[in-house]
Structure 1
Amino acid sequence: MIASLSDRQRKMLLFLLERDTRTTARQLATRFGVATRTVRYDLEYLRTALKGTGLHLVARPRSGLWIEGEPDRREAVINLVRSVSPPLPTDAVERKHRLALELLTHDDGLALTMLGETLACSRTTVLRDLEEVARQLGTYGLRLERGRGRVRVVGPEQERREALVRLLVETLEPEALLQVGRGVAPGPHWETAGGSNRDAGWAQLSAVVHRAEEALGRKFTDESFVSLVVHLEVTLQRLSAGHEITMPAARLSECPTLPRAYYPSPAITWPRCASASWRSARAPCCSGFPAWPRT
Structure 2
Amino acid sequence: MDLSERQRHILYEFLNEENQMYTAEELANKYKVSKRTIYNDLQDIREWISSKGLELCIKPGTGIWVNREKNDQETICKIKNELSDFKPYITPLSKEERVKAIISILLKESDTVTISDICSRTGISRTTFYNDLNDVENWFKRFDLDVVRTQKKGVALEGDEDNKREAIISFLTENLDESQMLSLLEINNNYANTMKKPGDNIVIDLFSTYLSNINLEPIKIFVNESQKALGYRFTDSAFLALVVHIAMAVKRIKDGFNITIDEQKLNFLKQNPEYEISKLLSKKIEKEYEVAIPEAEVGYITLHLLSGKINQSYKEELNPSLNNCVATMIETAGSILGMDLSNDEELSKGLNLHLSATYNRLMLGMEEKNPLKDIVLEKYAQLYSTAKIMAEVFEKDTGYSLDDDEISYIMMYLGAAIERAKGTQTKKVYAVCPTGLGGAQLLVANLKNKFPDIVVKGTISMSEAESLNDPEVDAIISTVNFKNDNFPVISVSPFVSETDMVRIYNVLNVETSKFQSKRSANNLKIANKEEIPAFISIISDLACFVDRLKNKLAIKMSNETYLGLIIHLALRLSLSSKEKDLFKGQSFKLTNDKSEVDSVIYEEMKDLCKKYPFTIMDEDILAIKAYMSLNSEDVTK
TM class by shorter chain equals 0.5 to 0.7
- Say if 1:95 and 1:212 are closer, same or farther in 2 by CA, change over 3 A: farther
- Say if 1:203 and 1:267 are closer, same or farther in 2 by CA, change over 3 A: closer
Give 1:264 shift: 7.2
Amino acid at match of 1:108: D
Give 1:181 shift: 5.9
Which of these residues, 218, 222, 243, is aligned with residue 232 of structure 2?
218
**Counterparts of 1:252-263 in structure 2 under 5 Å?**
252-253=266-267, 254-255=269-270, 256=272, 258=276, 260-261=280-281, 263=284
Any idea what the Cα deviations from partners look like across 1:72-131, whole Å, max 9, x if unmatched?
xxxxxxx9xx9xxxx988532232122112112212121011001111211111111111
- Say if 1:88 and 1:134 are closer, same or farther in 2 by CA, change over 3 A: farther
Give 1:208 shift: 2.6
- Say if 1:152 and 1:212 are closer, same or farther in 2 by CA, change over 3 A: same
Does residue 106 of structure 2 align to residue 121 of structure 1?
A: no
Which of these residues, 131, 134, 139, is aligned with residue 134 of structure 2?
131
Report the equivalent of 1:41: none
Distance of 1:168 and 1:156 partners within structure 2:
19
**Counterparts of 1:15-54 in structure 2 under 5 Å?**
none
Report the equivalent of 2:436: 292
Does residue 157 of structure 2 align to residue 153 of structure 1?
A: yes
Does residue 255 of structure 2 align to residue 227 of structure 1?
A: no
Distance of 1:119 and 1:268 partners within structure 2:
35
- Say if 1:201 and 1:134 are closer, same or farther in 2 by CA, change over 3 A: same
Report the equivalent of 1:175: 179
Report the equivalent of 1:250: 264
Kept in 1: contact 2:103–2:136 (CA 8 A): yes
Give 1:267 shift: 4.5
Report the equivalent of 1:281: 357
Kept in 1: contact 2:148–2:156 (CA 8 A): yes
Distance of 1:265 and 1:152 partners within structure 2:
32
Give 1:165 shift: 0.7
TM-score with structure 1 setting the length: 0.59
Distance of 1:88 and 1:222 partners within structure 2:
34
**Counterparts of 1:193-204 in structure 2 under 5 Å?**
194-198=209-213, 201-204=215-218
Which of these residues, 96, 100, 105, is aligned with residue 97 of structure 1?
100
- Structure 2: which 5+ residue stretches go unaligned? 1-86, 192-200, 309-355, 371-434, 438-460, 463-637
Amino acid at match of 1:212: S
Amino acid at match of 2:141: G
Report the equivalent of 1:39: none
SS of the equivalent of 2:256 reads: coil
SS of the equivalent of 1:145 reads: strand
SS of the equivalent of 2:155 reads: strand
Aligned CA RMSD, in angstroms, stands at 3.5
Distance of 2:231 and 2:92 partners within structure 1:
41
- Say if 1:181 and 1:281 are closer, same or farther in 2 by CA, change over 3 A: farther
Any idea what the Cα deviations from partners look like across 1:149-185, whole Å, max 9, x if unmatched?
4001111211111111100112325532232465675
Kept in 2: contact 1:186–1:197 (CA 8 A): no
Kept in 2: contact 1:104–1:160 (CA 8 A): yes
Report the equivalent of 1:52: none
Amino acid at match of 2:234: F
The runs of at least 4 consecutive aligned structure 1 residues that moved more than 4 Å come to 87-90, 180-186, 264-273, 282-286
Report the equivalent of 2:112: 109
Kept in 1: contact 2:185–2:216 (CA 8 A): no
Distance of 1:129 and 1:250 partners within structure 2:
39
Report the equivalent of 2:513: none
Distance of 1:225 and 1:197 partners within structure 2:
19
Which of these residues, 161, 166, 169, is aligned with residue 165 of structure 1?
169
**Counterparts of 1:59-78 in structure 2 under 5 Å?**
none
Report the equivalent of 1:65: none
Amino acid at match of 1:263: K
- Structure 1: which 5+ residue stretches go unaligned? 1-78
Distance of 1:95 and 1:214 partners within structure 2:
43
Report the equivalent of 1:8: none
Kept in 1: contact 2:160–2:259 (CA 8 A): no
Distance of 1:289 and 1:208 partners within structure 2:
26
Rg larger in structure: 2
What is the total number of aligned residue pairs between the two structures? 210
Amino acid at match of 1:195: Y
Distance of 1:174 and 1:216 partners within structure 2:
23
SS of the equivalent of 1:201 reads: coil
SS of the equivalent of 2:211 reads: coil
TM-score with structure 2 setting the length: 0.29
- Say if 1:266 and 1:230 are closer, same or farther in 2 by CA, change over 3 A: closer
SS of the equivalent of 1:258 reads: helix
- Say if 1:286 and 1:220 are closer, same or farther in 2 by CA, change over 3 A: farther
Distance of 2:132 and 2:250 partners within structure 1:
29
Bigger helix share: 2
Distance of 1:208 and 1:267 partners within structure 2:
10
Any idea what the Cα deviations from partners look like across 1:28-49, whole Å, max 9, x if unmatched?
xxxxxxxxxxxxxxxxxxxxxx
Identity of aligned residues (%): 21
Distance of 2:288 and 2:241 partners within structure 1:
25
Amino acid at match of 1:96: V
